[in-house]
A and B are shown apart, each in its own frame.
Chain A
Amino acid sequence: MESLVKRNALVFVALTVAVLAMLASGKYLDRTRKHGPLKLIGDVKGVEAPDFALLTLDGHKVKLSDYRGKAVLLNFWATWCPPCKVEMPWFVDLQKQYGKDGLVVLGVAMDDTEPGEIAKFASDLGVNYTVLLGTNKVSDDYGDVQYLPTTFFIGRNGAIVDKLTGLLDRKDIEDDVRKTLATDPDAPGRPVTVQQNQADAQPKPAAPQVPEPKDATR
């Protein structure tokens, strides 16, 4: 009888440990599925910007590392995003004003639409900077960019100076452009760390409360 109790207790403990281990691995797998093991989440200032190779609207490959030594404004946007549309003329002006000082504006279009439609949209807004076709990978690498517009300011040394999410004032953007232009090309950036992966910088308002059930055929 005693051995039966002991055996049941052992089975219970083993099952509990198994459940906890599976839960932990499930949460880890879910996080890595969404964000990968080392991604730009949390405080990203000073962190080396992940390199990428993306296609331009006319099919040329562009790498972020091609612009080492320049100040890069990396803007994630989409044609279906009205707040993004507000910022784009500002980027056109900033590219004109600060291009001679080393500013490079790169727009990453997160659309599923044809490149031709994106090109027409950009052309209609007078876009004078390079537009790249976004991918899930670049979105993931930059911290699962879901909230558009999101803009990264990348210093001449390849490290992130600031990240702005949502539509802000033009002044906020221009202030960050100036800071980015003032960066030292030889200053070392810090690598992405596991700690940055733990925090979640994406704004997540509460889900709506489910309405009360009604007679659907009222």
Chain B
Amino acid sequence: MKHFVGVVLAALLLTLLVSAQSMDDKPKVVMAPIGKVELRAGASKDVNLDFRVGSEYHINSHTPKSPLLIPTVLKLDAQAPVALGDFKYPAGQDVAFAFTGDEKLNVYSGDFTIDAVLKAPANAAAGSYPVKGTLRFQACDHSACYPPRNLPVEFNVTVVK
């Protein structure tokens, strides 16, 4: 009984501490959960990663109009033998803001999707392989900007024969 109470309280403590840590730093961008990603050995498959920018914000696209602006970049590493590449970023929207005058910035707002291609060699062993990385972005709202952030991105690819 004592052990049970201890375990429950420890779990509660961990949950509350994690939520207390994360409440201070609200994300400007979140990622949609990825369902099951199955890949046949010897084949390739497109994977679509969906992101959402908070309604008060915009982030620079992958190809902002100035080299001074920080582009949105997805960096992912797949565990061998799975390989991931050929990232395709959506075109941003050209938008003029109160702080840019007539000049337009190329941005993502709302929902956007980045596509990539998964590959597994014919001799890949069946199993689950993690893909991990980050989406680097820099957000602004209608009158100010926030420092660049890295959003963790993680999912598993199941290789089948």
A206/B49 contact (C-beta < 8 A), A19-B12, A83-B144, A167-B99 known: no
Determine if B93 is an interface residue (Cβ-Cβ < 8 Å): no
Chain B residues with Cβ below 8 Å from A79 are: 68
For chain B, the count of residues having a C-beta within 8 Å of the partner chain is: 56
Q: How far is the CA of A8 from the CA of B28 in the complex (A)?
A: 46
Q: Is the CB of B48 within 8 A of A217?
A: yes
Q: Is the CB of B35 within 8 A of A216?
A: yes
| Proximity string of chain A (185-214) to chain B, C-beta cutoff 8 Å, 1 when within and 0 when not | 000000000000000000011111111111
Main secondary structure of the interface of A (DSSP, over half): loop
Q: Is the CB of A147 within 8 A of B27?
A: no
Q: Is the CB of A22 within 8 A of B145?
A: no
Choose among B2, B38, B145 the residue with the greatest number of A CB atoms under 10 Å from its CB.
B145
Stretch among B15-23, B77-85, B120-128 lining the A interface = B15-23
Q: Is the CB of B145 within 8 A of A83?
A: yes
Q: Is the CB of B144 within 8 A of A26?
A: no
A213/B35 contact (C-beta < 8 A), A166-B143, A166-B144, A167-B98 known: yes
A15/B5 contact (C-beta < 8 A), A27-B20, A208-B28, A216-B48 known: yes
Q: Is the CB of A207 within 8 A of B144?
A: no
Chain A residues with Cβ below 8 Å from B70 are: 80
Determine if A121 is an interface residue (Cβ-Cβ < 8 Å): yes
Q: Is the CB of A208 within 8 A of B145?
A: no
Determine if A128 is an interface residue (Cβ-Cβ < 8 Å): no
Known contacts A15-B5, A22-B17, then 11 further A-B pairs from the complex at CB < 8 Å, ordered by chain A residue? A15-B6, A23-B17, A23-B20, A81-B140, A206-B54, A207-B30, A208-B30, A208-B55, A211-B52, A216-B37, A216-B49
